[in-house]
Structure 1
Amino acid sequence: MITAEDVRSRKFSTTKFREGYDIEEVDGYLDEIGQTLTSLEGGAAPTSPGLLGPEDVLAKVFDTVKFREGYAIDEVDDLLDVVVHGLQEYKARALATGAQPVVAPPRPPAPQQTGSQPVVPTTTGGQPAVQSLRDLQSASPAGLTPAAAVRAYDTGASVTSTPLPPDPEAAALGTRVLISQLQIATIRTQGNDVLTVVTPDGSVLRVVAVDASPQGVTLRTA
């Protein structure tokens, strides 16, 4: 698993005549990641306020520069993908040990213009910011991670549509995949993390507990 020291010691190639990430912005964010990993390595709960989560790293978009020195985009994206997997692993371990999440303070509402539609943030290239990482994932080519998909949109790269599996019951989800999808779903629902399941007869049941056994993870409903 990636460590804080791995992040702090990572070096990137630089670009000048093609697009790269703003060096100062990347260095500042990697410092935040290093602080989060240091806290997790010291035993802090992954959901503690002030710590970055995998969904935060997935949603991070850097400004790009051209004709001045910047970091190679692919190299930075590759590191962030590894960081996302590491943070997901910390959350999976906390879930397996039954650790109680720390409730973070509510986020302030997004600013709106008086008497008009809500302000839609834009990326550096002038495109509307993507509102849902799930939308990005479904629109990305196979093998493109959510973090890389965000950056593909930011830099104007082309992405092609990849249809979701036609039958969601065709294969059981692994715990890590489930956690990742729940994080993305929480972003899409603007922070609402109430978990429910739909039975074959159409009934909607609320998940009230998670049990673990050698056979796997079980969701208990009420």
Structure 2
Amino acid sequence: MITAEDVRSRKFSTTKFREGYDIEEVDGYLDEIGQTLTSLEGGAAPTAPGLIGPEDVLAKVFDTVKFREGYAIDEVDDLLDVVVQTLQEHKARALATGAQPVVAAAQPTGSQPAVPVTTGAQPSVQALRDHLESGSPAGLSPAAAVRALDTGASVSPTPPLPPDPEAAALGTRVLISQLQIATIRTQGNDGLSVVTPDGTVLRVVGVDASPQGVTLRTA
């Protein structure tokens, strides 16, 4: 696990003649992550309002710069991967100790509403999409909203999630994170299967790699 101090003290190589992440934007976001980790290290619940979650980090997109100084993209992404794992571990510990999700407090007039989190019935995927499209502090896309709902709260597997072209192609970082959360929920059962659009369930029996990406082989 990474600590708040680790994040605050992390230094990155800089680029100038190739693309890099906007330095001011990265520094600002890492400061927010540091504040979240400080709260978690002090005993705050991962679901407390105002804290950054693993789904927020996965969905974060930085502006890139060229021909002026920026941070090395790979180095920043590597740090964010570790941050995601750390936030997931904090969330897993909270689940293991029976911590209950926190209901967000009412927002002051003029502020952006928080993504709704409840201890009872979960919001529908479409409702969450509509909420995020109207504006949210995390700036999540509809596809990221689905991922946030999956990693932040239990969602009934029926009815299935509606098709979403943007969510159909998950990156390996997002997929690994979702698998880790799902394994925790299944109490360690790591059987993996794929459900096709027609409802057929296929077992995953292998993983292949090619220049086009990662492929799951099914049987």
Q: TM-score, normalised by structure 1?
A: 0.55
Q: 1:1-222, aligned counterparts within 5 Å?
A: 1-104=1-104, 105-106=114-115, 110-111=133-134, 131-133=142-144, 135=166, 138-140=169-171, 144-146=172-174, 176-178=180-182
CA change 1:179–1:66 in 2 (3 A) is farther
3-state SS of paired residue (1:68): coil
CA distance in 1: counterparts of 2:6 and 2:170, whole angstroms: 31
AA aligned to 2:182 is: L
Q: What RMSD over aligned residues (CA atoms) do the two structures have, in Å?
A: 3.3
| Distance in 2 between residues matched to 1:28 and 1:86, nearest whole Å | 19
User: Residue by residue, what CA displacement relative to the aligned partner does 1:53-86 show, whole Å, maximum 9, x if unpaired?
Assistant: 0001011000000000000000000000100000
**1:132 Cα offset (Å):** 1.5
Q: CA deviation at 1:87?
A: 0.3
Structure 1, gaps ≥5 residues long: 113-120, 122-128, 148-172, 182-201, 203-222
Distance 1:180 1:98, change over 3 A: closer
Deviation at 1:139, TM superposition (A): 4.7
Deviation of the 1:179 alpha carbon: 6.8
- Tell me how far apart the structure 2 counterparts of residues 34 and 71 of structure 1 sit (CA, whole Å): 18
Give the distance between the partners of 1:180 and 1:132, measured in 2 at CA: 22
**Number of residues paired by the alignment?**
140
Contact 1:137 1:146 in 2 (8 A): no
Q: Which amino acid aligns with 1:21?
A: Y
TM-score normalised to structure 2 length: 0.56
Aligned residue for 1:206?
none
Work out the percentage of aligned pairs sharing the same amino acid.
73
